[in-house]
Amino acid sequence: MVPVNRVDIDTLSRFPRFTNLHRAKLMRLKAAVSVWRFQRRERIYGQGETSRSLYILLRGVARLSGHNKAHELVLMNLISPGVLFGVSALMAEGIHQFQCDAFTDCVVARIDPKQFVDIMLGVTLADFQPLMGMLVSPSRELMTRYSMMLRLPVRDRLLTAFAELGSKLGTPDERGTVLNVPLTHQDLADLIGATRPIITLHLKDLERDGAIVRERRRLILVPEKLSNEGAIDPPPAVFLPSPPTGMREV
């Protein structure tokens, strides 16, 4: 691989996301980044690690992955050159929700999030984080749910959806957790990527087993029964930091 010493203005400005940036900002970005080389399959950052940097892919392809409910690592997206990633560094909690690896040999620019926000917006990271949370948190929740359900059987996807719906929209009741939203069988099918007849069969099984109770157009979830079925949140181990990786500055 040809080593890269620094990123230059032409490298950044040729990417569509940076084309319209004022040259002064491009110059400041150039001075603020460090450039790193990753070999194919090398870890860039791990799920659960603290987010300390933002990244710009300059060359190659990177792989974004997440753990599903079965603890399997599943491919979520492929990152192309010119894309800014690792945006968890801009969030208040600062934890990577997903894992990123070099899908091919990669060259990556890395920048401190405080410097990035100052260069781009002229504000502090602390002032920017509340807005970032409002704008990005719903999308991150959607991606997390998507990763949790990938490659799972329909029943497990349905149980995972119930766990999420119960935590967001449920009201405690002596019988369990009441879902205060009139979800149809088709709604549930659309939510998890299944067909309505299959959802109807699984709901009948869960009702027979006492894991859910129907009350007119509402559903009551019975947490104890659903936990026995496996409808639980991701185990903490999924979000533990990964071992250090062999990142090399070039």
What 3 state SS string does 203-232 have? HHHHHHCCCEEEECCEEEECHHHHHHHCCC
Comparing 45 with 179, which gets the higher pLDDT? 45
Q: Across the strands, what pairs with 45? A: 100
Q: How sure is the predictor about 125, in pLDDT bands with cuts at 50, 70 and 90?
A: very high
Mean pLDDT of 176-180: 88
User: 29 exposed, middle or buried (CB, 10 Å; 0-12, 13-18, 19+)?
Assistant: buried
Mean pLDDT of 8-34: 88
Mean pLDDT across the chain, nearest whole number? 83
- The domains of the chain, with CATH numbers, are 9-148 (2.60.120.10), 154-229 (1.10.10.10)
- Residue 90 carries which DSSP code? G
What is the SS3 assignment for 249? strand
Is pLDDT above 70 for 132? yes
Mean pLDDT of 183-207: 91
Phi then psi for residue 208, to 5 deg, are -60, -35
Q: How sure is the predictor about 5, in pLDDT bands with cuts at 50, 70 and 90?
A: low
Q: Which sign, positive or negative, has the C-alpha torsion 100, 65, 8, 115?
A: negative
Is pLDDT above 60 for 82? yes
Residues in the chain: 250
CB contact at 8 A, 37 and 102: no
Q: Which of 34-38, 61-65, 131-135 has the lowest mean pLDDT?
A: 131-135
User: Which pLDDT does position 229 carry in this prediction?
Assistant: 61
Pairwise CA distance, residues 56 & 42, whole Å: 16
Cβ density class 160-176: b for 16+ within 10 Å, e for less: bbbbbbbeeebeeeeeb
What is the SS3 assignment for 83? coil
Angle at 237 between CA 230 and CA 75, to 5 degrees: 80
Is pLDDT above 50 for 242? no
User: Which pLDDT does position 46 carry in this prediction?
Assistant: 94
Is pLDDT above 60 for 81? yes
User: Which pLDDT does position 230 carry in this prediction?
Assistant: 56
